Amino acid sequence: MMDSEQDSRQSDLRGRAEAILATTVQEPADGSQIEMRRLIHDLLAYQIELEFQNEELFSIQLQLKDARDRYARLYHQAPEGYLSLDASGVIRQFNQTFASMVDNECADLMGRSLAEFMAAADRDIFLGRFKAFFKNPEGKSMDVTLRRRGKPASSLIARLTGRRETDTVSPVGRRLAPPLLLVIVSDISVQKAMEDALRQERDASQRYLGVVGSIVIVVRQDQTVSLINPAGCQLLGYRQEDIIGANWFDRFLPERLRVSAKAHFASLIAETTDLIKSQESMVLTRSGEERIIAWRNTVLRDTAGYITGTLSSGEDVSERRQAEIALREREAILHNITEAAQDAIVMMEPAGRISFWNPAAEHIFGYTREEALGRELHPLLAPERYHDAHYKAFPVFQRTGRGNAIGKTLGLQARRKDGVEIAVAVSLSSVQIRGQWYAVGILRDETERRAQEIELRRLATTDPLTGLANRRYFLAQVERELNRLKRYSASAALLMLDLDHFKQINDAYGHAIGDAVLKHFAFIASQTLRKIDLLGRLGGEEFAALLPDTTMTGAYPLAERLRGIIMESPAMTGAGSIGFSVSIGVALLAQNDLDADAILIRADRALYRAKNRGRNRVEMEKWDDNDRTSRRRTVTTRNQ
């Protein structure tokens, strides 16, 4: 086939040469001249044919050069390193990517052993395995650490994969060139780091599961167990391999509970019922014993958000529940004395010493029954500031059983064994036994309740993101200040503040960064305003500040100062430094303001003027009689 194509090409070239010679004018001649001319004609035709061949060869050479250049660019700009190694592991060819990996000039690499660039720990291993790798590289790879030249020295983890080059012909003597190994060098440093991190996390989880005393179990959506820790195996009495893959409900729940438990689990997987986060239920051990387990549950979901099973942590509370039953029986016997056993019940004898001390008192005050009985009550529990009043009133109580605190519930401070004072509610009564007066006190630890009250008050008045006054509390304080202003003819101002282009920050960086900017603004503004001023967040990126005892001559410079500080105080976030500005509207509280809404409307009008005039500025608004009618106002997040 190739011969016929070659003959056709030669015939075509000869035809083109003949066509050129045919245009030459020839004179008549005798026989010898004809032969001579025929020879000259053949030589000229051959010469023209060679010229055509040279032109075609030159064109082919240009095409080959262009293809070679494209290949070289692809070769050197490849994302992975390429090497050609001889049988001794010496570098015979490489691309620029590999040179960059080891931070070496190209001239320094040719003819050097690849092992020279490896960490010492990998070098001997590589050399020991290279012969077999060179002979049969298919399906094999080696992970090595390559050293980078430079200061400071660094390294990368590389994966070497290879294949044998096909036999090539040497241009000298037409002999086969020595075989080479083509090696692909892949930087897997990041992959290795991730694998190591995952391995460490997995190992840490396994260690935790191994030492935690609670039961940890995963039940898949098909009701089979996919994970259980040693504590769970010990409780149930089975080996781990006997539990994994078993149906949790059929094997480990009492028969009477299986149907309802399965139905609830199926509903949970189908998301037609809510998860019971905390519950107590019975489990069945291998010995047939039923144990009470206090479970804490959560659901597991796949990447699409569907529930794939449950993860539960359980504590065996069987003994605890039995002890509680016994305790309740004991409490029933002692009901007439300790019906409020959750509170401390203390009895004081006529001499002022403790004669009864219940378990709740032990818990609240830290003294055991043995430590408390026989001790003087007031030196033991009362802070010293109460002692004088007690000793003055105590003789009257001893004689009459009466006192200022008898029959009342008082909020006092008491001192625990560790010296810490706690808030208690004390209910005192007197009991006469054999002609002598005893005092019986019920003391309730109010520390947590009072802390909860404080926290509830804080939550009710504070914006959860910024810690500033929330909208409701802020407006209430404006109303209060307005009433004070009307009563005493005082002065006050209100600033409306709105972060400029805040939506762009949210869109560019996400809401988490946006929240960080809001908190930064709240901090800077709080530091800039006076202690008597109240800063609140009305919603979104809109804030307001109440400035008591302030006229416009004081409010405007303060607002301008705040605006300038905000401009010069970018927020340092996880996305870097983010600069932003604020527009401010200023309004004065007036005697004829009907409510806080009227003030907000005027301040908001000034704020919009600042927005419309280019933002990052302060504008004042004068009182407008048309705003005397009270109107409710809803603050919405601006998208400007």
Query: Tokens 């080959």, residue?
Result: 64
CA angle 157, 161, 163 (to 5 degrees): 160
Question: Which pLDDT value is given to residue 171?
Answer: 52
pLDDT the model gives residue 617: 95
Q: Among residues 449, 473, 506, which one ends one of the domains?
A: 449
Average pLDDT over residues 597-603: 92
Is the model's pLDDT at 222 over the cut of 50?
yes
Predicted confidence (pLDDT) at residue 362 exceeds the cutoff of 70: yes
Write out the DSSP string of 169-195. Answer: B-TTTTPBPPP-EEEEEEE-HHHHHHH
Residues 531 and 593 grouped into a single domain: yes
Q: How far is CA 546 from CA 165, 241, 481, in A?
A: 81, 68, 9
* For range 225-235, the mean pLDDT: 90
Q: Which of 291, 321, 351 is the last residue of a domain?
A: 321
Three-class secondary structure of residue 489 per DSSP: coil
Q: 482 with 616, same domain?
A: yes
Residues 291 and 347 in one domain: no
Confidence of residue 238 (pLDDT cuts 50, 70, 90): very high
Is residue 335 situated within a structural domain?
A: no
**The last residue of a domain, from among 139, 163, 193:** 193
- Domain-located, residue 337: no
Is the pTM here over 0.85, yes or no? no
Same domain for 181 and 255, yes or no, is no
User: Is 596 part of any domain?
Assistant: yes
Residue 211 has pLDDT above 70, yes or no: no
- Pairwise CA distance, residues 385 & 638, whole Å: 56
Mean pLDDT on 62-73: 68
Lowest-pLDDT choice from 198-202, 335-339, 389-393: 335-339
Q: Which domain holds residue 168?
A: 78-193
Q: Are residues 280 and 369 in the same domain?
A: no
> What average pLDDT score do residues 50-78 get?
71
pLDDT of residue 639: 38
Rounded CA separation 70/610 (Å)? 60
Residues 584 and 475 placed together within one structural domain of the fold? yes
pLDDT of residue 576: 92
Is residue 554, in this structure, part of any structural domain at all? yes
CATH at residue 86:
3.30.450.20
The CATH number of the domain holding residue 594 is: 3.30.70.270
Q: Which of the listed ranges 36-45, 427-436, 461-470 does the model predict with the highest average pLDDT? A: 461-470
- Residue 635 in domain: no
- Do residues 212 and 229 lie in contact, with contact meaning Cβ atoms separated by under 8 Å? yes
- 3-state SS track over 143-155: EEEEEECCCCCEE
604/504 same-domain check: yes
pLDDT band (50, 70, 90) for residue 288? very high
Residues 502 and 371 in one domain: no
Which two three-digit tokens encode residue 430? 């007197």
> What pLDDT is recorded for position 626?
44
Q: Are residues 402 and 541 in the same domain?
A: no
Question: Does residue 368 lie within any of the structural domains?
Answer: yes
> Is 636 within the bounds of a domain?
no
Does residue 434 share a domain with residue 369?
A: yes
What token pair was written down for 45? 């035709």
The set of residues, in sequence order, having a beta carbon less than 8 Å from that of 107 and lying 6+ positions away, is: none
Mean pLDDT of all residues in 239-266: 93
pLDDT cut 70: percent of the chain above it: 84
CA atoms of 605 and 596, how far apart (whole Å): 14
Better pLDDT: 37 or 364: 364
Percent of the chain surpassing pLDDT 90 = 35
- Give mean pLDDT, residues 82-87: 86
| Residue range 574-599: mean pLDDT, rounded | 92
pLDDT average, residue stretch 454-481: 90
Check residue 524 and give left, alpha or beta (phi > 0: left; psi -120 to 50: alpha): alpha
**Domain count within the chain:** 5
Mean pLDDT (the chain) is 83
Question: Within a domain: residue 330?
Answer: no
If asked whether residues 90 and 150 sit together in one domain, one would say yes
- Regarding whether 350 and 240 lie in a shared domain, the answer is no
